[in-house]
Structure 1
Amino acid sequence: MAHLARSIFILWLLTMLPFFGNVLSRSSEISVAIQNLLKDQDDLTVHCKSRDYNIRVQYLKSHEHFLFHSRPNIFGTTLFYCSFAWEDGVCRRFDIYEYDRDKTYTDITWQIFKKGPCRFIENNGHDDNTTRKKAYGYAFFDNICFQWSHNSTMAHLARSIFILWLLTMLPFFGNVLSRSSEISVAIQNLLEDQDDLTVHCKSRDDDIRVQYLKSHEHFLFHFRPNIFGTTLFYCSFAWEDGVCRRFDIYEYDRDKTYTDITWQIFKEGPCRFIENNGHDDNTTRKKADGYAFFDNICFQWSHDSC
């Protein structure tokens, strides 16, 4: 069946080749000329590109021109854009062929002035004296001048405004960061059988070095949550017999209301204890290894591998 399907496809392709040839042949070749008419007879450097083609850099003396040819693609998305540079470091940009704007023409001449490019369409036998103009020895029936694109100028302006805004906002960001309370996280080894515990905690930005904890030992680390509310510290916990478990030890959405957190590590999972800090709610307060706590929740290990 696969062989039969392939044979049918090849036969269909051979019969359709004339059609594809007609489609491609109906896409007329476009001729685009660019002429340097800068005042003061300045030299002009031109570099044109499309998504698929790079026309090499052209250096034009006053009144010189160059020409390139192309066939618009069958999707109607052909676009050639050019940069134009002259003395005093001036550089401008313009879309020299834009399919929707220029699709009705096959021969286009662009004359480049400092104020902007002007498009001239060759007369091709037209004799409409109401619109035809004589320009430098050529007969044209369409003459439209355009403004330069604002892409590079606007991008530079936007970048300058952003940098200025950033400089003025730095004191504000400093205040925001200083108002972000410091978080204290303690991790204590309460593994059964008094096993030693190896702990390695990280965030996207910080790597807390590996900690080796004997039974009932603990270590402490501090940080400030970022201003975006996305702070996450995750840890791996390893003990004897090659066991390794993983858990998100600080997750902003889960832990953001606390500034002092103690995690007690058991083989079945980590338990979070929040220090009492003066609370005297005997219904929730628990005594654990000499500390008074008012919140005690145990979690399961993450399913992620170490």
Structure 2
Amino acid sequence: MSQTLCRTQTQGSGLGGLFPLSPKHVVIHNTLANGGVLNVHCNSINDDLGLIHIPWDKDWSFRFRVNIWKSTKFRCHFTWCGGGSHYFNIFTVARDDSPLGETPDCRECIWEVGKVSTDEKTPMCRVDGDGVKRYCFGWNDDMSLRNNKIIYC
């Protein structure tokens, strides 16, 4: 993976999805097909991480802890030249911090944004640490679960 552009620390994850308050690290990697800058604005109910501009093939990351109620969620707005405007829940406890979830829980949640998946419809892919296994999702523009089904690549 490429050099990190910026890291942001936030307040308030679950080690193995069992314990609240252990650290999480979300990494967003720009893999846009057009090679352009990815504009990202992420927030939770308690934290606004501001607008970040990620050059192509670079990363931006932030760290936080899942709250004691395990209700932490970070939502990001992604924009880029010629690509429109899309929303995605970059971290949810049900998907990213639950031993019973569809995907393995992640301490470091690495996301590739814009890389074409095998179905060519899911531009958000969480990759494991070695980059081999990918879990791909559609945008959360309408917040409908039917548009966020998991695709194994």
TM over 0.5: yes
What is the CA-CA distance between 1:141 and the residue it aligns to?
Answer: 5.4
| Bigger share in helix | 1
Aligned residue in 1 for 2:141? 150
Distance 1:117 1:26, change over 3 A: closer
Aligned residue in 2 for 1:185? none
Identity rate, percent? 28
* Distance in structure 1 (CA, Å) of the matches to 2:96 and 2:46: 19
Aligned residue in 1 for 2:10? none
Q: Choose from 28, 38, 44 the match for 1:50.
A: 44
* Distance in structure 2 (CA, Å) of the matches to 1:26 and 1:53: 18
* Distance in structure 2 (CA, Å) of the matches to 1:143 and 1:64: 18
When normalised by structure 2's length, the TM-score is 0.68
Give aligned pairs, total: 112
Unpaired stretches in structure 2, ≥5 consecutive residues: 1-18, 98-104, 116-121, 144-153
Aligned residue in 2 for 1:184? none
What is the CA-CA distance between 1:26 and the residue it aligns to?
Answer: 5.6
Aligned residue in 2 for 1:28? 22
One-letter amino acid of the structure 1 residue matched with residue 123 of structure 2:
G
| Contact preservation (8 Å) 2:78, 2:85 | yes
Greater RCO (Cα-Cα under 8 Å, separation 6 or more): 2
Give the root-mean-square deviation of aligned CA atoms: 1.9
| Contact preservation (8 Å) 2:20, 2:67 | no
Distance 1:38 1:61, change over 3 A: same
Q: Choose from 84, 87, 95 the match for 2:89.
A: 95
Give 1 or 2 for the bigger CA radius of gyration. Answer: 1
Deviation above 4 Å: which 4+ runs of structure 1? none
Aligned residue in 1 for 2:107? 106
Q: C-alpha offsets along residues 184-234 of structure 1, whole Å, 9 cap, x if unaligned?
A: xxxxxxxxxxxxxxxxxxxxxxxxxxxxxxxxxxxxxxxxxxxxxxxxxxx
What is the CA-CA distance between 1:57 and the residue it aligns to?
Answer: 1.0
Aligned residue in 1 for 2:33? 39
* Distance in structure 2 (CA, Å) of the matches to 1:141 and 1:29: 23
Unpaired stretches in structure 1, ≥5 consecutive residues: 1-24, 123-138, 153-306
